[in-house]
Structure 1
Amino acid sequence: MGATASCPSSASAAAHPRLVVTHGGTTAHPAVYDGHGRTVAGITVEANHVIVENYRVTRPKAPGIEITGDDITVRNNTVTSPHGGDGDGMRFFGDDLKIQHNTVRGASNPHTFDFTIRDNNCETLKASQALMFEDVQHVTIVHNTFAAPTDHAIGLAIHSTSAPVRGNRTNPRVRYEVGIDASSRPGYRGPKGAALSDRSRPGPAPVRSGLRRREIP
């Protein structure tokens, strides 16, 4: 199927190597990689027309799941305690990405950018927000659960315009669901957003992970 395994140095990582997908399918017949609950030390996809589902990603070197390609679905996966680097649980580059029913736990710096996210669960996050979007238009954020008591659940910045946000559930200690800057307010459809300050934004790499300027239906 075009999947290989990398060889991390630690014994535990070697027992559950990182899944690396380099061959995809077609629009009509995507390549399906079903983990059936298997544990891996991370997932890297470098292909188009791929479905990755039902994996447990345990203590991966960050990012836990990294996607580069178009027409990719990532669903029903669990990422636990990514470490090193920027600590991202997931990172994406491409168009027509579907991120559905995933769980990320224990991410120390979980800024993941510029994609449509639906029916996911974000837990135990140590950051100003669980999701941060920059320079992405028509991003849709619906029916997610934000279990951690972050300052706000979602950040929209740097012309992240025309974003519908609805049906999400947040920890009662979240101050407000959406933080949004002035440049991102045109076309925004969602709960009242509080002003997003520079302190709420991620570090020096503003588009280090992202599906740019694309809405996923």
Structure 2
Amino acid sequence: MVTDAVSMSAAINSALPGDTICVRGTIADKRLVIKKSGNQGAPIKIVGDGQAVVHGISVDGDYVSISGLNSVDPNAPGISLSGSNITLENSTSISPRGEDGDALRFWGNNITIRHNTMRDTKNLNGAHADCMQTFATDQGHLASQHVLIDSNRCEEIDNTCLIMEGPHSLAGDGSGVGASSDVTFTNNYCQNNASEALQIDDVQNLTITNNNVAGNNDHAFALQNLTTGAKVSGNKLNPAIHFEVGMDDSSAPGYQGPPSGGNP
């Protein structure tokens, strides 16, 4: 059982596929960093009791599972996931600060993000503080595929609940390699203050269903730049939201959902 920074680092550094590391108590001065991989059928599991506190979480590896941990007052991003076959569940990212102020960033394949709470991101000192973000750039960040984002809560978010930028994004710094695709965003609660709850750029085969968008947004979902094959249904919107989907012409192929109400 891990209860302090020294024992946490030692346990993670010696972890092998199939190991479970239990974290208890408050380790407020130490970020949990794991650069190890499990394997299929034997992931490395980092498990808290729902009360355990760390000063941020970073995963850079494959077949890793994180659950029951609270990232409180961390350096942003509060939680960072990079790799394949990663699961983050029943955890929190609260009040991240610094850099771009994001609560969660993720990159890779077969990533599951479910039953987590991200709260209190602030646009301080030029930050663009989102609840969740991924991008594929020439800085070595890979496109994300086969991603499930289910039953999470984004509360008190200054910018978007989810921003995704594929390798050919309009940002102009995309890697140009691969594709960001097969993403399901379902049963989530979004309370944010940007013009839209979701900003999606160059992501194919996206499903957006049964979410509660509670922010005072202009529109709920912005689809642009060949975000084709999107399916949108069953979402509950704040009545103050002007329309559900904003979409450009390039994203229309394969789209299923309410008519576009305007530009993304």
TM-score with structure 1 setting the length: 0.75
- Is 1:129 the counterpart of 2:196? The answer is yes
**What is the deviation of 1:19?**
1.1
Q: Which one of the candidate residues 149, 160, 163 is aligned to 1:117?
A: 149
In structure 2, give the amino acid aligned to 1:40. V
In structure 1, give the amino acid aligned to 2:206. V
| Larger-Rg structure | 2
The 5 A counterparts of 1:36-185 are 36-37=49-50, 38-108=52-122, 109-110=129-130, 112-113=133-134, 115-126=147-158, 127-185=194-252
Q: Is the partner of 1:183 in helix, strand or coil?
A: helix
Q: Comparing both structures, which one devotes a greater share of its residues to strand?
A: 2
**What is the deviation of 1:184?**
1.8
Change (3 A) 1:124 1:18: same
Counterpart in the other structure of 2:6: none
1:118-144 deviation line (CA, Å, top 9, x unaligned): 222222222223332221211233333
In structure 2, give the amino acid aligned to 1:156. L
The sequence identity of aligned pairs, in percent, is 39
Counterpart in the other structure of 2:171: none
Distance 1:47 1:83 in 2: 24
In structure 2, give the amino acid aligned to 1:191. P
Question: Which fold has the larger relative contact order, with Cα–Cα distance below 8 Å and residues 6 or more apart in sequence?
Answer: 1
How many residues matched? Answer: 189
**What is the deviation of 1:44?**
0.7
TM-score with structure 2 setting the length: 0.63
Distance 1:3 1:139 in 2: 37
Counterpart in the other structure of 1:193: 260
Q: Is the partner of 2:109 in helix, strand or coil?
A: coil
Q: Which stretches in structure 1 are left out of the alignment for 5+ residues?
A: 5-12, 198-217
Counterpart in the other structure of 1:30: 43
